[in-house]
């Protein structure tokens, strides 16, 4: 095999972290973030990490069966050797080989990218409308069989269509994960099929390099395997948007609210306008206004409220007081002939005379005139009665006078001084009302007070009614404003409540964006380095050297793009402007393959449909050597109608399985092995046995070794399947197989998954496949020491070896 001076594509690039989420969580431990912000990042990551089932790992293709789909009518199966290695499926245009390739993609994804535009949207083409095979009236189905690490039994993905459904309305299931069929999502490959897409068609190669810059960015960013971080960032962005919504709504509602309020002639409204126009609107002032808090006493509204509550004279009380005064005055006038003082003086004089007489009861002489007939008992009785009468008259007079005074005081007590903010036209009336206090004549006081009270009370009533009317008008306007203010206040309160959390979410998103950019740059650098190694294979006799490949902008930036730098004869240039069509396709392969080969990909296989079309012969040879290098660690399946790739493989003696697809009448498709390793070695052995020129000595020298190669190929296939079933990773599997020196070593791995003695191996082969298979392995294990007597015996021996290989391949 021709070797290349280029380094292996898988060796030149540093291995990225197994999980971008794990990388972010690790950085989060030492990040200068508050616990609240770090918790938000963890929450976003957890929601993404737990959104998909654990992926099935280490998957290899085993077969694809297609029925009633595209160019294949009756069911046809393409068997692919599982495990690392190169398989080329060739066939002329229209043979049905692309139907197998598209069948693999559709079985896995339900989509056919060849039928979609660069935005991933279905386009109504003849191919899509005619996805059903025209010659087949039976079922329309795909069946993809895979082998996966840790699983002895194969997994089978089925996809089927009802006769009445469109292409997009298929039903899929996975068999082998459990006792019953499970949905395709149970494989856990939804994100992996985007990040580590294992299938690439010719049309996709073209679209990858000719799409608009933003679409190229999106496709390469998807290949970076950071979709989970993008989803976590999107969750934070959605939460930020949700939290910022109230603030945006409050800000958006403010201008129309102010426009509606600015001309409303209400001091409460104007106070609200002042509060809203502040740099930071005064929510508490708005809240107080909405709740009905009073304004300052100096405001016009407060004055109207005072006038609406204006209390003029209490006319009922005044009327009652005037009536009482007049009654008191009338009562006083009835006793006005009596002089209380004189009556009391006369009563006192009589009392003294009676006391003097009582001191000299026998002396009836008047002490004034010395008359002897005046102070007798009759006089004493009359004088006592007269004195009592005089005292009663004096008490009555005093009571009447006091009643007049009390009624006057009561009436004057009803007269209050005028209040503040009194309308001007009430000043004179109120002053006249107050002036009533200075009237001393009870008759004049009663008459004037009653008149002024009625006039002032009537005037106050009119003022009160007008104030209430004005208040009612303003209240009606205010009631229309309150719901608007309350609605804005609710938005502002929600924004204020969300503000602390919003600030934390912004910090979390900014930090995650920064880390995501660093990881994107590191992974892009890894892809670029691997792509440069791949380009060395594909750039045979080209004067174009691939330089840095970088992403410009971010996922949300409309001007995002890809900087794909090359040098042409050591002169820097932009790749898309200077390279040929074949070189563009080679560049697309160089960018696609690194992610398909990523260590964290669950797919051990890479499927490429028609990569050779635009390549010149030297690039085809480079592709052959590149595929050989990749096939050491991956299962590579290439579909091509161009025979140059198989020719290049044979020319460079590169080991590969060549399958040929043929199509016959009514879309009957067959697959035949052009170069199956077991069949190839058996055919070579038969050719030696049938050659009459070969002597017995040569036959004994060559035939056992040739048959040993057939058995070795069969045992390698079984050993690979057994070791993968134990959970061993692919590289370790190939290393174990590579260390097997004898057939019994390979047989031990195939049978037991570990080294065993020859005796144990032979016994197990005999138990499973019969004694003859055990004998054949023993004979071929000795190689040239085996004796084959003649040609007839040689043919029989080869047939025994062929039978043994069938059994050994099925272990």
Residue 189, Cβ density class (10 Å: 0-12 exposed, 13-18 middle, ≥19 buried): buried
Residue 181's alpha-carbon distances to 103, 149, 185, 448, in angstroms, are 20, 19, 12, 110
Please write the tens of the pLDDT for every residue from 563-574: 666 666 555 555
pLDDT given at position 788: 52
pLDDT given at position 231: 82
* CA distance from start to end of the chain: 31
Residue 568's alpha-carbon distances to 142, 527, 574, 580, 583, in angstroms, are 46, 21, 10, 12, 12
Asked if the structure places residue 554 within a domain, the reply is no
Among 504, 525, 549, the domain boundary falls at: 504
Domain range for 273 is 240-308+470-504
Residue 18's alpha-carbon distances to 24, 226, 599, 602, 640, in angstroms, are 11, 11, 8, 11, 33
Rg (CA), the chain: 57
According to DSSP, residue 272 is labeled: H
CA distance 717 to 810: 9
Asked if the structure places residue 750 within a domain, the reply is yes
Residue 466: name the closest of 514, 406, 426 by CA: 426
pTM for this predicted structure: 0.58
pLDDT given at position 14: 36
Asked if the structure places residue 523 within a domain, the reply is no
pLDDT given at position 34: 92
pLDDT given at position 356: 62
Asked if the structure places residue 700 within a domain, the reply is yes
pLDDT given at position 791: 47
Which residues, at least 6 apart from 253, have a Cβ–Cβ distance to it below 8 Å? Answer: 487, 488, 491
pLDDT given at position 302: 72
Residue 79's alpha-carbon distances to 60, 609, 660, 661, 717, in angstroms, are 12, 17, 11, 11, 13
Question: For residue 172, what are the β-bridge partners?
Answer: 159
CA distance 299 to 449: 34
Asked if the structure places residue 747 within a domain, the reply is yes
Asked if the structure places residue 489 within a domain, the reply is yes
pLDDT given at position 126: 52
pLDDT given at position 529: 79
Among 478, 504, 530, the domain boundary falls at: 504
Q: Are 383 and 350 in contact (CB under 8 A)?
A: yes
Asked if the structure places residue 231 within a domain, the reply is no
pLDDT given at position 717: 83
Specify the number of domains making up the chain.
2
Asked if the structure places residue 629 within a domain, the reply is no
Q: Which two tokens stand for residue 254?
A: 């403010």
Low-confidence residues of the chain: pLDDT under 50: 1-8, 10-17, 51-52, 784, 789-791
Among 460, 489, 504, the domain boundary falls at: 504
CA distance 123 to 364: 155
Which residues, at least 6 apart from 558, have a Cβ–Cβ distance to it below 8 Å? Answer: 214
Please write the tens of the pLDDT for every residue from 505-523: 999 999 988 888 888 788 7
What are residue 464's phi and psi, to 5 degrees? -65, -45
């Amino acid at each position: 095999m021709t070797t290349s001076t280029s380094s292996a594509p898988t060796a030149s690039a540093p291995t990225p972290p197994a999980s971008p989420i794990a990388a972010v969580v690790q950085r989060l431990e030492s990040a200068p973030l508050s616990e609240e912000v770090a918790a938000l990042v963890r929450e976003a990551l957890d929601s993404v990490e737990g959104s998909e089932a654990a992926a099935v790992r280490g998957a290899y293709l085993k077969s694809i069966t297609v029925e009633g789909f595209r160019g294949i009518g009756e069911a046809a199966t393409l068997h692919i050797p599982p495990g690392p290695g190169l398989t080329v499926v060739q066939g002329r245009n229209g043979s049905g080989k692309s139907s197998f390739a598209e069948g693999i993609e559709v079985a896995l994804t339900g989509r056919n990218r060849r039928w979609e535009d660069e935005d991933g949207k279905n386009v109504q083409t003849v191919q899509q409308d005619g996805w059903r095979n025209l010659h087949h009236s039976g079922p329309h189905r795909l069946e993809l069989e895979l082998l996966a690490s840790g699983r002895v039994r194969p997994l089978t993905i089925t996809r089927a269509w009802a006769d009445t459904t469109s292409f997009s309305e298929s039903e899929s299931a996975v068999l082998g994960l459990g006792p019953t069929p499970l949905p395709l999502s149970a494989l856990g490959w939804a994100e992996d099929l985007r990040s580590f897409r294992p299938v690439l068609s010719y049309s996709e190669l073209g679209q990858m390099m000719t799409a608009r810059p933003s679409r190229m960015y999106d496709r390469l960013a998807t290949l970076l395997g950071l979709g989970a971080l993008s989803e976590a960032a999107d969750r934070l962005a959605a939460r930020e948007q949700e939290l910022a919504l109230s603030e945006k709504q409050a800000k958006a509602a403010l201008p129309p609210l102010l426009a509606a309020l600015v001309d409303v002639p209400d001091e409460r409204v104007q106070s609200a306008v002042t509060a809203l126009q502040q740099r930071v609107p005064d929510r508490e002032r708005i809240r107080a206004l909405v709740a009905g808090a009073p304004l300052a006493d100096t405001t016009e509204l407060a004055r109207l409220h005072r006038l609406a509550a204006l209390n003029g004279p209490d006319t009922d009380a005044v009327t009652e007081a005037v009536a009482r005064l007049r009654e008191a005055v009338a009562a006083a006038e009835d006793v006005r002939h009596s002089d209380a003082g004189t009556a009391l003086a006369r009563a006192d004089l009589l009392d003294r005379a009676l006391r003097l007489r009582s001191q000299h009861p026998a002396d009836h002489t008047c002490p004034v005139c010395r008359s002897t007939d005046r102070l007798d008992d009759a006089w004493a009785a009359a004088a006592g009665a007269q004195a009592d009468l005089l005292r009663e008259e004096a008490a009555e007079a005093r009571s009447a006078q006091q009643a007049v005074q009390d009624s006057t005081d009561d009436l004057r007590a009803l007269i209050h001084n005028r209040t503040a903010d009194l309308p001007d036209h009430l000043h004179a009336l109120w002053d006249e009302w107050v002036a009533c206090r200075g009237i001393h004549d009870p008759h004049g006081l009663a008459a004037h007070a009653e008149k002024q009270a009625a006039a002032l009370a009537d005037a106050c009533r009119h003022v009160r009614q007008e104030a209430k009317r004005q208040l009612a008008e303003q209240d009606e306007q205010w009631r229309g404003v309150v719901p608007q203010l309350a609605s804005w206040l609710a938005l502002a309160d929600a924004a204020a409540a969300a503000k602390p959390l919003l600030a934390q979410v912004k910090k979390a998103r900014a930090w995650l964006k920064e880390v995501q950019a660093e990881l994107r740059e590191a992974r892009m650098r890894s892809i670029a380095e691997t792509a440069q190694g791949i380009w060395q294979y594909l750039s045979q006799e080209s004067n174009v050297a691939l330089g840095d490949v970088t992403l410009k902008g971010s996922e949300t930036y409309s001007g995002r793009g890809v900087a794909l730098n090359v040098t042409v004869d050591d002169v820097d240039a932009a790749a898309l402007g200077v390279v040929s069509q074949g070189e563009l396709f080679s560049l697309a392969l160089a960018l696609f393959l690194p992610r398909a080969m990523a260590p964290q990909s669950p797919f051990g296989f890479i499927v490429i449909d028609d990569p050779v079309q635009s390549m010149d012969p030297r690039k085809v040879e480079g592709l052959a050597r590149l595929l050989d290098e990749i096939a050491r660690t991956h299962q590579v399946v290439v579909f091509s109608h161009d025979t140059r790739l198989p020719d290049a493989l044979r020319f460079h003696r590169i080991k590969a399985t060549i399958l040929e697809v043929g199509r016959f009448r009514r879309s009957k498709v067959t697959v035949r092995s052009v170069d199956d390793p077991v069949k190839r070695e058996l055919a070579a052995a038969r050719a030696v046995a049938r050659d009459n020129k070969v002597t017995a000595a040569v036959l004994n020298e060559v035939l056992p070794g040739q048959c040993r190669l057939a058995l070795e190929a069969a045992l390698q296939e079984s050993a690979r399947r057994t070791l993968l079933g134990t959970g061993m990773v692919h590289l370790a599997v190939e290393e174990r197989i590579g260390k097997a020196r004898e057939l019994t070593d390979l047989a031990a791995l195939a049978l037991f998954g570990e080294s065993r003695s020859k005796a144990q191996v032979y016994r197990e082969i005999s138990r499973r496949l019969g004694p003859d298979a055990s004998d054949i392995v023993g004979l071929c294990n000795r190689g040239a020491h085996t004796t084959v007597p003649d040609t007839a015996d040689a043919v029989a021996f080869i047939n025994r070896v062929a039978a043994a290989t069938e059994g050994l391949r099925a272990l």
